[in-house]
Amino acid sequence: MTAQRRSPAGAKRRPPLHAVEPKGAAQSPAQAAPRVAPQAAPVGAPKGRTEAGERTPTLAPKGKGAAKKKVASPVVDTRTKPAPQKNSKKPAPPKAADRREALDAAATLLANAADELSADQRRLLVDRFAPHAPEPEPAPRTRPPAPAPAAPNAHDFEIFAENLARLVDQGRKALAAAIGGMEPGDTRSELASNVADAVKTLGVVAERWMAKPEQAVAAQATLVSGLTDIWSQTLRRFSGEDTPPIVPPDPNDKRFSAPEWNDNPFFDWLRQSYALTTRWAGETVERTEGLDPQVKAKAGFYTRLVASALSPSNFVATNPELLRATLDARGENLVRGMKMLTEDLSAGHGMLKLRQSDESKFELGVDMATTPGKVVYRTPVMELIQYAPSTETVYERPLLIVPPWINKFYVLDLNREKSFVRWATAQGLTVFVISWVNPDESQAEKGFDAYMKEGVLAALDAVQQATGAKHVAAAGYCVGGTMLAATLAYLAEKGDDRIDSVTFLATQVDFTDAGDMQVFIDEARLAALDEAMSRTGYLEGVKMATTFNLLRPNELFWTYFVNNYMKGVEPAAFDLLTWNSDCTRIPRANHLFYLRYCYIENALSQGRMVIDGVTLNLRKVKIPIYELAAKEDHIAPARSVFTGAKYFGGEVRYVLAGAGHIAGVVNPPAKNKYQYWTGGPPVGVYEDWAKTAHENKGSWWGDWLAWITAQAPQRVPARIPGDGKLKPLCDAPGEYVRVRA
């Protein structure tokens, strides 16, 4: 021990050390002290006695009357200890209290012995043992008591109870909205057909695996092993270990972006188990042998759909964000969410019309679809809009745009910054756009041929009347492009060459590899859809919107479902999503024709589609074609667009845009977002073309403008809507577009 560790007056306060006299020697009461039990007494020794020749130190009581004596030198017994007897029992280990008493006695003994040493001896002892001396225990610091978590008070419970009652009431209203929207005799045959198809498809996958039990057992063992590893890692985390996850978090999966999914062992276990199971299920479908490609595609889609629905992020009890929001709001968030659910079910007439944007912040003609123009022609299926020029001269050849009828046209005129229409007019093009009708039951029999004749062909006639131009450049978007391709084949058979250039935007004409949309279309589904549409004469727009949302369920459905109906948060205002929710009905005859002869029979690319008695052959379409596909398109996959482009008889410029079905097309140059790839005509297979294509930064719009204006560079004075043979009927964006589904 060091001098700093000794009390300055320690020598005076410590009692003197006494040696224990041999047995039988008399001791004064003041000298009596408790005997220190030896740590290991020889077996067989008389109880309470030490071995001969051994001295046992005792401690004298403290006090002024205690006399100091020199410490007797201990006698070292060098004799061999007797061997333990065979039948003797081992002594019981000393109790904790005995050990503590012995240690205290030994410490006092050493302290008293140190007092008898000279200064030199004490210094030598200190130098030898100081490095091993224990540090003194610091005096305990007085810490302020930690604030206890606020316990729920009676008022909180009252609020929870009141909100629970309101939640039940709103739930009754939501159920009434769902049931009340059902038409008489409506058995929801489409839903039943979808469920039956999913069960049948996944059953086929299960049969293939059960046919090879050893492979099925191995696959199950892989899953169980992975889940066991995750559970073991979770237990180690609960015990305080810092162990890396078996399944690292995906930074692109926004469902699990809250820190609790990684920081909390329980929620981390949920996340990892879910991720491992869903990945295993997807890989199992992919490894299934002997599956028809269509069945495998459907099985993969249904697996992803079920996995998305069962994500722990979708439920209050297993989502830390929802738990926190519910506790903070005392259940008020669930009441708000149920109210929005009731409103959305009512808006969808019993079907869920999922809100994705605050539509109240936008008004057509004011915030969206604002490019100046006039409706100059109208038929039962469309209005034709001619846009006002913004340049003194324009290109002589006008541009006619055919948008899809499953959405409204103003995706190409969202706002001043994102409008393709406004940009094209600023480049000197005279732009016409078809605005399709939002049909009702009176137009149930308007089929594909009616939309071609009263839509595309009628618009072509009107454009020529309004401008006096002999030739027109046309552009078709999505299913509008499919109809435009059929129209071009029809005109080619008729020898009509008025359209001498065409642009296809995310358009399919061959449906061999049509992506996830294929899973919704087969004979059974078509029959169920026909039965449902026969009651109204059209397909409800909300059904088509839900179909597209389910193609990307995590991003387009469950994200909004959780945010709206569980967090109780109104979605933000977003123009693109507002347009997406502005659903359009589709006439029964048109929809059935499109699904059967495009998706099921693939008749257009195979030369078997017949319209108005004319068999269509795309090989006879020999005009220049600009074919734009989008790399991440899940509606018109880039590979499918590439394959279809090879069926035309003319020169095709295939261009691949970044992003998806909408963002890949609506990509203004000023934004400088995404990119596009060019690599010549569509020859060979898509993957080979994509490997050698040249990447260009920014928007494809400039590339397209150079291509289309080089074909017809002549310019004429700007054309004002209404100055030609057609007089304005109303201002853009027209009347048809304002009809809500």
| Catalytic machinery residues | 478
* In contact, 313 and 275? CB cutoff 8 Å: no
Question: d(Cα 489, Cα 493) in Å, to the nearest integer?
Answer: 6
Token pair of 653, please? 């410029």
Query: Which amino acid type is present at position 557?
Result: F
Distance CA 118, CA 370 (A): 105
Indicate the SS3 state at residue 416: coil
β-strands 652-657, 625-630 pairing = parallel
CB 605 within 8 A of CB 598: no
Residue 471: exposure state from Cβ atoms within 10 A (0-12, 13-18, ≥19): middle
**Which two tokens mark 222?**
């892989």
By CB neighbour count within 10 A (0-12 exposed, 13-18 middle, 19+ buried), where does 522 fall?
middle
Q: Which SS3 state, helix, strand or coil, does residue 399 take? A: strand
Q: Residue 68, Cβ neighbours under 10 Å: how many? A: 12
CA distance to 2, 707, 712, per residue, from 396 (Å): 105, 15, 8
Going by C-beta distance under 8 Å and a sequence separation of 6 or more, which residues neighbour residue 558?
255, 308, 309, 311, 313, 314
Phi-psi region of 185 (alpha: psi -120 to 50; beta: other; left: phi over 0): left
Instruction: Give the containing element (helix H, strand E) for 539.
Output: strand 538-539
Decide: helix, strand or coil at residue 299: helix
Distance CA 286, CA 292 (A): 12
Residue 643's nearest CA partner among 514, 520, 516 is 514
- Cα–Cα dist 282/202, whole Å: 12
β-partners of residue 431 are 399
Yes or no: say if 700 and 657 are a contact pair by the CB < 8 Å rule: yes
Contact status, residue 491 vs residue 610, Cβ threshold 8 Å: no
- The DSSP 8-state label assigned to residue 714 in this structure reads -
Give the number of residues written for the chain: 741
What's the DSSP call for residue 455?
I
In sequence order, what DSSP letters do the residues of 496-524 get, joined into one string?
A: --SEEEEEEES--S--TT-GGGGGG-SHH
Around 380, how many Cα atoms within 13 Å sit in the side-chain half-sphere? 15
CA distance 208 to 197: 17
Angle between helices 213-238 and 189-210 (to 10 degrees): 100
Question: Among all chains, which residue has been given the structure tokens 């206890």?
Answer: 148
Indicate the pairing of strand 538-539 with strand 431-436. Answer: unpaired
Pairing type for strands 538-539 and 586-587 reads: antiparallel
Q: Pairing relation of β-strands 610-611 and 614-615?
A: antiparallel
**Dihedral, CA atoms, 278, 284, 286, 289, nearest 10 degrees?**
-170
For residue 733, is the peptide bond before it cis, meaning its omega torsion is within 30 degrees of 0? Answer: yes
Closest C-alpha among 91, 106, 92 to residue 34: 106
